Amino acid sequence: MIQLVIHDGVAVVTLDRPDRLNVFSGGMGAALGDAYVRCDADDAVRAVVLTGAGTAFCAGADMTPSADSFAGPSARTFSASPVRPPAWEVRKPVIAAINGHAIGIGFTLAMQCDIRIVAEDAKLAIPQTRRGMVPDAQSHWTVPAATSRAVAADILLTGRTFRGSEALALGLASRALPAAEVLPAALEIAHDIATNVHPVSAALTKRLLWADAGPDEVERLETAYHRVLMGTDDAKEGPRAWMERRAPRWTGTVSGAWDRVLEAESSVQENK
């Protein structure tokens, strides 16, 4: 259901049910969460690309009777957000390469990613209101955060289908390209991050981007994170590499820095 390949600092996670247009089931959700955990913990992974096998990204939930896509409401394990951790909690940039149709949870999972590259002719929709349900995977938060409440209302309340080209115009995607160019473009971004971006800087910047914080708290966190990084070998290596016009040779890691990050955040909370 899920393929994970790691090469040159980039993890490619593929939803792998091409004969079913990569429809989503509970088993796929668990496997995707496991892949995210592995990517988060592995310091060799600097960026993650999420894509679909074949011609679709994910055509939505598996509606066949044998699928376990939706647990009954009495089940203690049921969640409308079945992938744990979500992509925004992975401490590496996660790029959705939406190579084809992304419907329902197929699109709401992509909205949990940091960057979205979409096939310009892909069909996209969050149609749950047309199915007697409500949108899932925290999309009532991710969609307006990425765009606006007006765009979220348009997409979530109508459940209408739209193309990748419109997703770009609405601000739901960073780029809209011919389908064959989507994965190469996402990999190009991922390899650039893996080569040039400091892994701890990326993790902290991502943490701030997804933080549910106002401007004053963001300022305090930015200051705390600066103090984590200032004076380190990598804070010297970045400018040096730029001056010498070469790729930086980073030595710091996310796992190695994280205790200091948590201490800095704790200090911010104590001094509020």
Q: State the Cα angle at 37 between 203 and 57, rounded to 5°.
A: 90
Return the minimum-mean-pLDDT range out of 31-35, 62-66, 91-95: 62-66
Distance CA 65, CA 47 (A): 36
Phi, psi angles (nearest 5°) of residue 173 = -140, 155
Share of the chain above pLDDT 90, in %: 88
Residue 64 has pLDDT above 70, yes or no: no
pLDDT attached to residue 78: 79
Flag the least confident range among 57-71, 95-109, 191-205: 57-71
Residue 87 pLDDT greater than 80, yes or no: yes
Q: From the CB of residue 66, how many other CB atoms can be counted at a distance below 10 Å?
A: 6
Q: Give the pLDDT mean for 183-207.
A: 98
Strands 94-98, 47-52: pairing kind: parallel
pLDDT value at position 57? 98
* Residues 139-185 pLDDT 10s: 999 999 999 999 999 999 999 999 999 999 999 999 999 999 999 99
pLDDT tier, 61 (very low <50, low <70, confident <90, very high otherwise): confident
Confidence label for 271 from pLDDT (cuts 50, 70 and 90): confident
Name the nearest CA neighbour of 164 among 147, 146, 185, 182: 182
Q: Residue 84: how many CA atoms within 13 Å on its side-chain side?
A: 7
pLDDT at position 217 is: 93
Query: Does pLDDT of 75 surpass 70?
Result: no
72, pLDDT greater than 70 = no
pLDDT averaged over every residue in the chain: 94
Banded model confidence at residue 80, pLDDT cuts 50, 70, 90? confident
Question: Please, what are the domains in the chain?
Answer: 2-194 (3.90.226.10), 198-270 (1.10.12.10)
**Residue 40 to residue 42: CA distance in whole angstroms:** 6
Q: What are 124's strand-pairing partners?
A: 102, 162
CB contact set of 86 (below 8 Å; sequence gap of 6+)? 36, 112, 137, 138
Residues with Cβ within 8 Å of 200's Cβ and at least 6 positions away in sequence, in order, are 228, 229, 234, 252, 253, 254, 257, 261
pLDDT at 157: 98
pLDDT band for 77, please (50, 70, 90 cuts).
confident
Instruction: Look at the alpha carbons of 136, 138, 140, 144 in this order and tell me if their dihedral is positive or negative.
Output: negative
What is the pLDDT averaged over residues 13-29? 94
pTM of the full structure: 0.94
Q: For residue range 118-143, what is the model confidence (pLDDT) as tens digits?
A: 999 999 999 999 999 999 999 999 99
